[in-house]
Amino acid sequence: MKELVEYMVKSLVDDPERVSVSELEGEQSVIYEVRVAPEDMGKIIGKQGRIAKAMRTIVKAACVKSGKKAVVEILE
Amino acid sequence: MKRSVEVSGKSLEEVLERASRYFDVPKEHLSYEVLSENKGFLGILVPKVVKVRVWVEDQEEEALDVATFEEAPRVSVQQEASQEKVPSNLEELQKVAVGFLRGLLDKMQVNVDITVRQEERGVVCAIDGKDAGILIGRKGETLEAMEVLLRTFLSKRGFETGYVELDIANYKKRREEALRKLAEKVAQKVIREKKRVKLEPMNARERRIIHTTLKEHPQVVTYSVGFEPGRRVVVELKEAREEKERDPEKKTGRNSPKSTGAEKRNRNSRKRPRKSGGQKKALGE
């Protein structure tokens, strides 16, 4: 799942080197914290959060197979 | 601000065709609202005219300047459109698109196949296989999400993205058929019960399917109300809509939250004399 988040974020930013995704495991869910270069923030959020929403939807779909809830958070 | 133009033409299809050339975006990216429709009242005497407000859903094109539609030189615009039909880097585009999807789907750990085909409307990346159901999502939301990412990914690499579409297990076609059936059913209901029906919120593509299905319908008209993502299609009796346009006063009355049946009856009876006066032609027919 972490690879999925990384893959999506890296394919959308200008500076893939500065993408970091950390995984925080909870009992029922996993939180993925995404950090990118400040110039790339807009690119992974999108207009009206369109891209961030799309990424979350895809992660949610991928969870169907793994069975564990995943949350994507974008941090400044 | 959204760019929008008012276009008139013989049919909705023709209007959208012209608008898509004018905005230089594929028809799928256009939203529209039918302002008025004149189906040739007496057949020959009044020409068939449909007036539509069209705007671009996709915000990327906003930087372009606004001009009235009539000013656009038609011939040159047509030439541009035909050149654009087949991007020169088509093969490249297909390869990049499939590469991106393959990576995405592998990381999602789903078991599916990807095929690419060239259709009239553009490049269609079709996904099918055992796990296709998961990838469609509720009301196709996962499919939409993947399309958003695919298009963003491609446009970042300089490809023409309005040209690319994603389909999973033929979902779009099945949905289109379901929507067409729904449209016909709702039209019947509107005629039977003589009241307008507001459909569930839909995205631009789905709304367009409803509009195009009913555009030639002799008794009902369609238009959209509200804002994305809650924008909804309304199906209404044609005569009721036309009456509203002639009499804006009535329109405000209808828009008020709730009017009781009694009020409606009163209003109708008040309007009746004027209506019969205004439609002498219809009576003469």
Q: Which residues on A lie below 8 Å from B142 (Cβ)?
A: 57-58, 60-61
Q: Which residues on A lie below 8 Å from B152 (Cβ)?
A: 12, 46, 51
Q: Do B103 and A7 make contact, defined as CB atoms within 8 angstroms? A: yes
Give the CATH number, domain containing residue A46.
Answer: 3.30.300.20
How many helices and strands (H and E) does chain A possess? 3, 3
In this prediction, residue B112 carries a pLDDT of 93
Tokens matching residue B119: 């259709």
For residue B34, what are the β-bridge partners? B52
Using pLDDT thresholds of 50, 70 and 90, give the confidence band for residue A12: very high
**In a 10 Å sphere around its CB, with 0-12 CB exposed, 13-18 middle and 19+ buried, how is residue A9 labelled?**
buried
ipTM metric: 0.95
- Preceding peptide of B273 cis, ω within 30°: no
Sites in chain B below the pLDDT cut of 50: 1, 40, 43, 58-85, 251-285
- Domain of A71 in residue numbering reads as 2-75
Closest approach of chain B CAs to the CA of A39, in angstroms?
A: 15
8 Å CB contact between B55 and B32:
yes
Question: How many independent structural domains does chain A possess?
Answer: 1
In this prediction, residue B86 carries a pLDDT of 52
In this prediction, residue B249 carries a pLDDT of 60
Closest approach of chain A CAs to the CA of B148, in angstroms?
A: 7
Q: Find the length of chain A.
A: 76
Tokens matching residue B232: 């909804």
A57 → closest Cβ in B100, B131, B142: B142
In this prediction, residue B16 carries a pLDDT of 77
State the helix-helix crossing angle for B261-278 and B238-246, rounded to 10 degrees: 80
More confident residue, B31 or A52: A52
**Number of cross-chain residue pairs from A and B with Cβ atoms under 8 Å apart:** 62
Tokens matching residue B56: 């671009």
In this prediction, residue B105 carries a pLDDT of 95
8 Å CB contact between A42 and B152:
no
List, for residues B39-80, the tens digit of each pLDDT value. 545 545 555 677 777 777 644 333 333 333 333 334 444 444
How far apart are alpha carbons A6 and B41 in whole angstroms?
A: 60
pTM of the model: 0.62
In this prediction, residue B242 carries a pLDDT of 80
Q: Do B153 and A54 make contact, defined as CB atoms within 8 angstroms? A: no
In this prediction, residue B256 carries a pLDDT of 41
